[in-house]
Amino acid sequence: MKHDQKYYQKLKATLQEWNHEYYVLDAPSVSDREYDRVYQELVALETAHPEWIESDSPSRRVGGEVLQGFEKVKRKHRMYSLDNTYDETDLREFDQRIQKVTEMEDLEYVVEPKVDGLSIEVQYNMGLFHLAATRGDGQSGENVTANVATIRSLPLKLQGKNIPDQLTLRGEVYLHRDDLALINEERQAQSLELFKNPRNAAAGSLRLLDSKLTASRPLRVVFYAFVETEGYQTHQQCLKQIKAWGLPSHGEVQVAQNISSLISIIEHKQKDLRQLPFDVDGLVIKVNELSLQKQLGYTSKYPRWAIAYKFETENAVTYVEDIVLQVGRTGVVTPVAVLTPVELAGTTVSRASLHNQDEIAKKDIRIGDQVVIEKAGEIIPQILRVITDLRKKNLSVFSFPKACPSCGEPLSQTPGEVAVRCTNYYGCRAQIQERLRYFCSRKAMNIEHIGPSLIEQLVCELGVRSPADLFLLKEEDLLSLPRMAEKSASNVLGSIESAKQNAQLFSLITAIGIPFVGETAARIVAKKIHSLEYFLKHDVVFWKKDLEELHGVGEKMMTSLIAYFSDPRHLTMIENFKSVGLWPVVENLSNTQDTLGGKSFCVTGTLSLPRDQIKNQILDHGGKWVSTVSKKLDYLVCNQESSSSSKFIKAEKLGIEIISEQMLQSMIGGSS
């Protein structure tokens, strides 16, 4: 064996090239035996000279120490999800919306397969693999670097040119169907539960605490975008660059020249993609030109320049074994059908939402019926119709109960509403549990280690009634619960403390579950009130007058806010939050931050900043954002001296002042 570092580097480069040929190009140039021979030679050299080992060595993929858990990773650039569309009409509406904003016709779109896997973000520093994290809630995810490093198709070192010092990629981890079959064969032999579909297997494999186990699973990864796009004109160029760096990318990408071309491509793709060896649950359609993507920007959830086209809905036939009632956090009682388990879209379905009593009556759903269920992009399947021809005789019409299934109190229905409610807000155990579950959820306070089972124990065994009670829990309280070990109790208390220390006011307002007040409205309210002391210090007359002009809070929301904080029991809960130290505060804004003084702004044409960023700047500095031109508008922002856009023409006609983006920035800075 040669003990020469240059020879070692040559072996390493050779193995990296062979890995790329086998896992990315699917075109191996050497036999498995030859690969193994060279690999063992590399390992022997590294054993003799551990000081030579670098992070991009193929031997680094075998996995390492067992983790205790996954660290949270906060990201600079949010990972958004995609809005869904299901037919040609939706696609044309999507195209028309983009045409309206960009004032362009015949837009170019890139069409990519939507791989059914687990979304991840991968970072390279100086061309070397550095970090991988799951999407999580978009703003932060779990650090799965050690596990992603075991994926053979992922290069630990990038190849080619134009590699930025820091590169942030977005991709999907997935499994081939044949690979899932082999994994399930092994699990069956070991009497382990089988994975339902490739996506579940991929997600479970990526979240194993032992990366050696992850390395034994044939996971794959494909990349579809990167963040550092400066210098690139189109998304298509970015995809070509991904491939040039030696990264696995989509091989089924097409570019549509306009909406008609896009629809034609989709019609052909839907048939072709079903022949792929991995699951695809639709297509992703993106505006090709990056400058237009920037102009279109984002909503609070989705990019406006991309959409997912979901394939035709899958149906299945099963039986309704029972209809049960679930009580939500606001008291709404929702009927749910208990079904004979059936396979649908790769998962076993045993329940379906029935929405409300009117829906049951409309479809005439009865216990014992044979029904057709569908999964049209929904998490919870729906009953499409009853097969009445096969209905057995003497099946009773379902009668909605008059009393709450949880607390036994009478149910009520407000005239004009379809919802039936339990009005025992403070005494109904089901409502209390659901409010606590929502409070702890990711979208609210994000308190880990507190699931539905523990919440039920906390309510039934420890008498927890309010979210504030969670912050009074002690170790001895938790240890008194069945099957609660010291480690678990420590994890629960640690999560509660972490939530308290890192709480933001808008998250707390969201978490307490005020009807009609979601995260967006909670952010607006938080910025105005600065702390919950506002509701303790002032009375309802002051709130109504002070908040009525708040942009983004409508009459329905205002009524709900006032009703919620007029209840003495809710004010007591807020006082309890304060006493336990859960008291997030938004710092007072300086005078210079209100420089737009309530003036309204509308935007048209191409800008240098994304529209969401412009919108946030206007709102953050005391302005109002409007989407249409009317005589009440103060300013239209447009970088062109003359424009054929309908907004520009209408603004000129109404005599509204038209300013440039630079002038807007001067106003924000207080210069005018």
Residue 22 is given by DSSP the state I
**E strand residue ranges, 151-271:** 166-174, 220-226, 254-256
Exposed / middle / buried, residue 56 (Cβ in 10 Å: 0-12, 13-18, 19+): middle
Helices 555-566 and 568-579 cross at an angle (nearest 10°) of 70
CB hemisphere CA count around 580 (13 angstroms): 21
Alpha carbon distance 55, 53 (integer Å) = 7
The answer to whether 142 touches 211, Cβ cutoff 8 Å, is: no
The answer to whether 39 touches 15, Cβ cutoff 8 Å, is: yes
The answer to whether 345 touches 398, Cβ cutoff 8 Å, is: no
Distances (CA, A) of 237 to 56, 161, 604, 623, 647: 26, 14, 27, 38, 33
Tell me how crowded residue 587 is: count the other CB atoms within 10 A of its CB: 6
Token look-up 């394939």 returns 311
Options 6, 72, 74, 114, the catalytic residue: 114
Residue 142 is given by DSSP the state E
The answer to whether 99 touches 107, Cβ cutoff 8 Å, is: yes
Tell me how crowded residue 77 is: count the other CB atoms within 10 A of its CB: 12
Q: Which two tokens stand for residue 51?
A: 């000081």
**Phi and psi based region of residue 253 (left: phi greater than 0; alpha: psi -120 to 50; beta: remaining):** beta
* R_g of the chain, CA atoms, integer Å: 29
Whether 100 is a known active-site residue: answer no
Alpha carbon distance 401, 422 (integer Å) = 11
What number of helices (H) and strands (E) belong to the chain? 25, 22
Spatial CB neighbours of 145, under 8 Å, sequence gap ≥ 6: 130, 131, 132, 133
Q: Which two tokens stand for residue 611?
A: 């529209």
Whose CA is closest to 61, among 223, 249, 219? Answer: 219
Q: Which two tokens stand for residue 153?
A: 């198709």
Helices 540-547 and 519-529 cross at an angle (nearest 10°) of 110
Q: Which residues are catalytic?
A: 114
